[in-house]
Structure 1
Amino acid sequence: MTKQIAIVIDSLAGGGAEKVMLTLAQTMLQRGHNVHLLVLQNFGLYDVPDNLPVHYWKASKTERCDALWGMGKLSREFLIWIRDVQLQVGQFDLFISNLDKSNLLMSRANLEPTYFVVHNAVAEELKKERRLGPIKYFKMWRAKKALEGKKLITVSHGIEKEIRASGFIHPQSVQTIYNPFNVEEIQRLAQAPTNGIPQGDYMVHVGRFAKQKRHDILFQAMREMDNKLPMVLLCNNTSKAKKMAKHYGVEDRIILPGFQANPYPWIKQAKLLALSSDCEGLPTVLIESLICGTPIVSTNCPHGPEEIMTGPLAEFLVPCRNPESLALAMDKALQVYPDLQEAEILNQVSAENVTQSYLALAG
């Protein structure tokens, strides 16, 4: 039976949550279901397929969809917008809500059935926001508390365990569904001709320039390495990245092509992909790198890397905030690395299997 699915998300900015939801939507469409993206703010870097309907609530990033005060009025406006969309396209059999602004609004809308996807470690995100001041912390705290009594989907078992153990929120239910990956499509896109890729050997890091990603640790590790290969940074704020690299004395070894809608040729041709984060949910880029056949080295941050890098790959997990360990692992990975076909995670994240798990929620 054809299902009518709504995927609700803050924007189409260039993050992992946006990418995996686009993959989920495309796979559902291929299986003959009706999928609509309900996007709070009309901005972002991802292209949307022509056959995927998108509905924007706010016309731009400057139009606020959350506020310190006045959330009652915004919530009513949001619910009216959802109802208007349903009048146009029909009632939805399932709402899948993603990211803090969407989750806050959807929690107040009380639309059924709604499942809230938790993409990152709750405790780590709160800890990070606490350092940024009371207002930012309160808004984050409010968004996480909005998940109280809700049906949650976590993208890794680590996040699920954290939620169950912490007692910060008490969901109605919580289950893990890994993010979906279209393996064949990623491998096809990795073969696409691309301008600007270095001719010689290089390493790669993929991720927005944000404190969570710890580019400072990455640059310190580069400085400590015996191997002096350059590092391609696929990030969104190249000027800040360049300034930090200069501070750590590795400016001459970084290549900054900026955000790439198709990062896979860059990943495939790299000798190594490195992740230096303090926290993740299920780091998409590690799985994408394995699909492309590129070795990975990662911090063993909460959560996700240890679920991806199992068996022989676990040797290349290193402690967080430890550039010396990261440097040693990167040097070793460039010399010898296990067979990537032994990565068990690749059998668990196929888009078809993950999509079936989501469709089952619609009844």
Structure 2
Amino acid sequence: MTKQIAIVIDSLAGGGAEKVMLTLAQTMLQGGHNVHLLVLQNFGLYEVPDNLSVHYWKASKNERCDALWGMDKLTQEFLVWVQGIQRQVGKFDLFISNLDKSNLLMSRSQLEPTYFVVHNAVAEELKKERRLGPVKYFKMWRAKKALDGKKLITVSHGIEKEIQSSGFVHPQSVQTIYNPFNVEEIQRQAQAEVNGLPQGDYMVHVGRFAKQKRHDILFQALRKMDNELPMVLLCNNTGKAKKMAKKYGVEDRIILPGFQGNPYPWIKHAKLLTLSSDCEGLPTVLIESLICNTPVVSTDCPHGPNEIMTGPLAEFLVPCRDPKSLAMAMDKALTQYPDTQTAEVLSQVSADNVAESYLALLN
């Protein structure tokens, strides 16, 4: 039976949560369901397929959809907007809410049935915001506490365990559903011809330029490596990345093509993909790299890498904030690496299977 699904998300900025929700939406569409993206702020780097219905609440990121004061008014405006969409397209059978602003509004709106997707470790995000000042910390704290009594979906077992053990959030229920990956589509896109690919061998790092991604650790590891292959950084804010690379003396080792809507050719042709993060949810790029048959080296950060890199691949997990260990693992991966297609996780992240898991929530 055809279902009416609403995926609610803050924006279509170039992050992992936005990417996997677009994949989930397209997979549900192909399964014959009606899917609508309800996007709070109209900005971002991802293109929406023509066959996917998208509704924007605010015209730009400059229009506020959360505030220290006045959330009652904003919530009422949001609820009127959603109800207007339902009058046009029909009542939604399921709401899937993503990211803090959406989760806050959806929790206050009490639209049912709603499942709230937790893409990152709650404790780590709160710790990061605490360093940015009391206002940012309060807004993050408020968004996380809004998950009390709600039905949660976590994208890794590590996040699920953290929620259950920390006691900060007391959900009605919590379960893990891995992010969806359209394996055949990723492999098809990886065959595309793109301008700017390096002529020789190279390594790659994919991720926004943010403290969580620890480019400083990556650059220190580059200096300690025996191998002198260049590192391609697919990130936003290339100016800051270049400045930091210069600080660590590896400016001549990095290539900065900027954010790529299709990163897969860059990943496929790389000799190695490296993740140097302090924390993750379920790091999309590790799975995408394995799908592209490119070896991966990662910090064993909370949460996700140790659920992806199991069996022989676990040898290439290294401690966080340890440039020497990261450099050694990268050097080794360039000379000897297990068959990436043996990764157990690849059978668990099929987009069709993940979509079925979400649809099963209706039962």
What is the TM-score normalised by the length of structure 1?
Answer: 1.00
Q: Secondary structure at the match of 2:205?
A: strand
Contact 1:75-1:109 at 8 Å conserved across structures: yes
Q: Secondary structure at the match of 1:288?
A: helix
Contact 1:286-1:308 at 8 Å conserved across structures: yes
Residues 190-248 of structure 1 deviation map (CA, whole Å, 9 limit, x = unaligned): 00011100010000000000011010100010011111110000001100000000000
Q: Tell me the equivalent position of 1:53.
A: 53
Q: Tell me the equivalent position of 1:229.
A: 229
Q: Tell me the equivalent position of 2:176.
A: 176
Q: Tell me the equivalent position of 1:145.
A: 145
Residue type at the aligned position of 1:191: Q
1:55 and 1:246 map into 2 onto residues whose CA distance is: 43
Q: Tell me the equivalent position of 2:120.
A: 120
Residues 336-360 of structure 1 deviation map (CA, whole Å, 9 limit, x = unaligned): 0011121000000000100000011
Matches within 5 A, 1:15-164: 15-164=15-164
1:155 and 1:34 map into 2 onto residues whose CA distance is: 23
Residue type at the aligned position of 1:234: L
Contact 1:3-1:362 at 8 Å conserved across structures: no
2:318 and 2:68 map into 1 onto residues whose CA distance is: 39
2:246 and 2:70 map into 1 onto residues whose CA distance is: 43
2:330 and 2:38 map into 1 onto residues whose CA distance is: 41
Q: Secondary structure at the match of 1:233?
A: strand
Residue type at the aligned position of 1:278: D
Could you tell me which runs of 5 or more consecutive residues in structure 2 were left unpaired when the two chains were aligned.
none
Contact 2:149-2:170 at 8 Å conserved across structures: yes
Q: Secondary structure at the match of 2:334?
A: helix
Residue type at the aligned position of 1:220: Q
Q: Secondary structure at the match of 2:20?
A: helix
Q: Secondary structure at the match of 2:86?
A: helix
1:202 paired with 2:193, answer no
Residue type at the aligned position of 2:309: M
Identity %: 86
Q: Tell me the equivalent position of 1:324.
A: 324
Q: Tell me the equivalent position of 2:254.
A: 254
Offset at residue 38 of structure 1 (A) = 0.1
1:33 and 1:342 map into 2 onto residues whose CA distance is: 33
Matches within 5 A, 1:278-293: 278-293=278-293
2:171 and 2:127 map into 1 onto residues whose CA distance is: 21
Q: Tell me the equivalent position of 1:352.
A: 352
2:206 and 2:362 map into 1 onto residues whose CA distance is: 34
Runs of 4+ in structure 1 deviating by more than 6 angstroms, as ranges, are none
Offset at residue 68 of structure 1 (A) = 1.1
Q: Secondary structure at the match of 1:357?
A: helix
Residues 37-81 of structure 1 deviation map (CA, whole Å, 9 limit, x = unaligned): 000000000000000000000000100101111111111111111
1:69 and 1:250 map into 2 onto residues whose CA distance is: 46
Residue type at the aligned position of 1:248: Y
Residue type at the aligned position of 2:300: N
2:246 and 2:343 map into 1 onto residues whose CA distance is: 36
Offset at residue 114 of structure 1 (A) = 0.0
Residue type at the aligned position of 1:202: Y
Offset at residue 295 of structure 1 (A) = 0.2
Offset at residue 362 of structure 1 (A) = 2.3
Q: Secondary structure at the match of 1:327?
A: helix
1:224 and 1:78 map into 2 onto residues whose CA distance is: 52
Contact 2:293-2:340 at 8 Å conserved across structures: yes
Q: Secondary structure at the match of 2:302?
A: coil
Contact 2:309-2:343 at 8 Å conserved across structures: yes
2:128 and 2:61 map into 1 onto residues whose CA distance is: 23
What is the TM-score normalised by the length of structure 2?
Answer: 1.00
Aligned length: 363
Q: Tell me the equivalent position of 2:311.
A: 311
Contact 2:291-2:341 at 8 Å conserved across structures: no
Residue type at the aligned position of 2:176: T
Contact 2:281-2:303 at 8 Å conserved across structures: yes
Residues 8-51 of structure 1 deviation map (CA, whole Å, 9 limit, x = unaligned): 00000000000000000000000100000000000000000000
Q: Secondary structure at the match of 1:5?
A: strand
Q: Secondary structure at the match of 1:87?
A: helix
Q: Tell me the equivalent position of 1:211.
A: 211
Could you tell me which runs of 5 or more consecutive residues in structure 1 were left unpaired when the two chains were aligned.
none
1:202 and 1:148 map into 2 onto residues whose CA distance is: 46
Q: Secondary structure at the match of 1:335?
A: coil
